Amino acid sequence: SFCMVDEEKTCVAVTVYNLAKGRGVTVGDSVAIPEPFLTHHQFSFSGN
């Protein structure tokens, strides 16, 4: 799992299944998700 942030500062939590052990996304990588399954969750924390 990791978070992505776009240029509008929108944060998206991403979970990727079936990666090889020791593989993953690192800072600065580009990520393409060809068939995303999206769910939207609204929440607040400490009034923010």
Give me the amino acid identity at 22. G
Contact 17, 33 (CB under 8 A): no
User: For position 38, what pLDDT does the model report?
Assistant: 82
Distance of CA 36 to the CA centre of its chain: 11
Which neighbouring-strand residues pair with 14? 2
The pLDDT score that the predictor gives to residue 5 is: 85
pLDDT for res 48: 62
% of the chain beyond a pLDDT of 90 = 0
Mean pLDDT score of the chain:
83
Q: Which of 24-28, 33-37, 44-48 has the lowest mean pLDDT?
A: 44-48
Q: 7 pLDDT exceeds 70?
A: yes
